[in-house]
Amino acid sequence: MRQPRRPSPVKVTPFAPTRRRSVALLIETSNDYARGLLQGVIQYIRAHGPWSTFLAEQGRGDTPPDWLSTWKGDGIIARVENRRIARAVIATGLPVVDVSAANLLPGAPWVETDDAAIARAAFDHLYERGFRSFAYCGDDRFNWSRWRCEHFRRLATAAGCPCAELGAAPAARVAAWIRGLPRPVGVMASYDALGRQILEACRQAGAAVPDGVAVVGVDDDELLCALSDPPLSSVAPDKRRTGYEAAALLDRMMAGEAVEARPYLIPPLGVTTRVSSDVLAVEDEGVSAAVRFIRERACEGIDVSDVVAAVPLGRRVLEARFKRLVGRTPHDEIDRVKVERVKELLRETDLPLSEIARRTGYAHVEYMTVVFKKRAGTPPSTYRARHGRRGRGGT
């Protein structure tokens, strides 16, 4: 009787676990922007890790941590704010991605906010509210403040509007500067803490906010903006996406891939409107009423005929005055308000496009997509992939 054949032995290869890469994070935790960068890095690690991270407890511009010179890691993400940090990072010989606008590592890629787009967001926010006089208050010690000032000034000049400027100054000088500005005036502060200082200066100068002076900061630091009196409007940088993209670049470099040493600029999410700029600086009561009606009802599916019915002006008169004072037609303003709401829902929710269309007054997803692409330059799905919770590494 034949014996059953024994199965041949199977060769088993032992599982080799992926080695954790060690990454140093030379990023301060003392301000909201830097913490947002770290959140973006964390989200990248959760999606693509594992990494072992070393976070130095330091403030902005501190000396390099003592352990860095002997640290045996794989890569560094750093806010290189001074030449001591730059020299210490270079000395490690490791791949590094810079997340500072100081640009002290010309041989490394650096990921930063798009300051031209930030200035554009602040200017458009004020211009669309009817302001035709502008001012910028910044801090010349920082590249990003100077760049924002240059772009803001160019936008005002291109629109045929004056733009006053002030650098870092004591409170009394800021108050004197505010007193000398024309009214009404839209002011951009280079960052939120300075925006708070300007609002305090407005109180000292007896300037009404937002009717006489509207103020917009940058960083959208919820704590600082809420503590301001009145609460401060602010341009919201895409902090998490900036950190996420920096981590993605470093991952490629640690894998041996060549990455171009150039700026990788991340546009802002938009302006978070609070009381400090929530006004329409237009003396025409009919146009003001039309703008308020559109901003309150645009996502209910209204059209220009509904606007005309809500204000004491004929269609031709309204459209002519609206275009002259606001810079666009009532139809364009309806589209703008709706698209901004679509952007918000794409960024902050996982709602399907059909539901977003319904919530923003579009009868068909296809039409929403056409309008959105025309105004935003990209389809809704692409915008969500870049700026939505998942695109920023969210869960």
Query: What is the assigned CATH class of domain 21-112+240-268?
Result: alpha beta
Give me the DSSP letters along 139-193.
Answer: -TTSHHHHHHHHHHHHHHHHTT--EEEE-S--HHHHHHHHHHS-SSEEEEESSHH
Separation of alpha carbons 243 and 114, rounded Å = 14
Question: What pLDDT does 285 receive?
Answer: 82
Percentage of the residues of the chain whose pLDDT score is greater than 90: 73
Whether the pLDDT of residue 394 is over 80: the answer is no
User: What pTM, to 2 d.p., does this model score?
Assistant: 0.78
* Per-residue pLDDT reduced to its tens digit, 294-309: 988 999 999 999 999 9
- Domain 115-237+271-277 = CATH 1.20.1250.20: no
Low-confidence winner among 36-40, 114-118, 163-167, 381-385 (lowest mean pLDDT): 381-385
* Per-residue pLDDT reduced to its tens digit, 206-254: 999 998 999 999 999 999 999 999 999 999 999 999 999 999 999 999 9
Q: Where in the chain is the domain with CATH 3.40.50.2300?
A: 21-112+240-268, 115-237+271-277
Per-residue pLDDT band at 15 (split at 50, 70, 90): very low
Question: What pLDDT does 280 receive?
Answer: 77
* Per-residue pLDDT reduced to its tens digit, 53-84: 998 766 666 788 888 989 999 999 999 989 99
Question: What pLDDT does 368 receive?
Answer: 96
Low-confidence winner among 163-167, 277-281, 296-300 (lowest mean pLDDT): 277-281
The answer to whether 217 and 195 have CB atoms below 8 angstroms apart is: yes
Whether the pLDDT of residue 113 is over 70: the answer is yes
Element at 39 (helix H, strand E):
helix 32-48
Whether the pLDDT of residue 3 is over 60: the answer is no
- Domain 285-387 = CATH 1.10.10.60: yes
Tell me what the pLDDT averaged over the chain comes to: 90
Whether the pLDDT of residue 350 is over 60: the answer is yes
Q: Where in the chain is the domain with CATH 1.10.10.60?
A: 285-387
Separation of alpha carbons 273 and 279, rounded Å = 10
Question: What pLDDT does 253 receive?
Answer: 97
DSSP 25: E
The answer to whether 90 and 263 have CB atoms below 8 angstroms apart is: no
Kindly state the tokens that stand for 323: 């275009």
The stretch 37-56 carries a mean pLDDT of 91
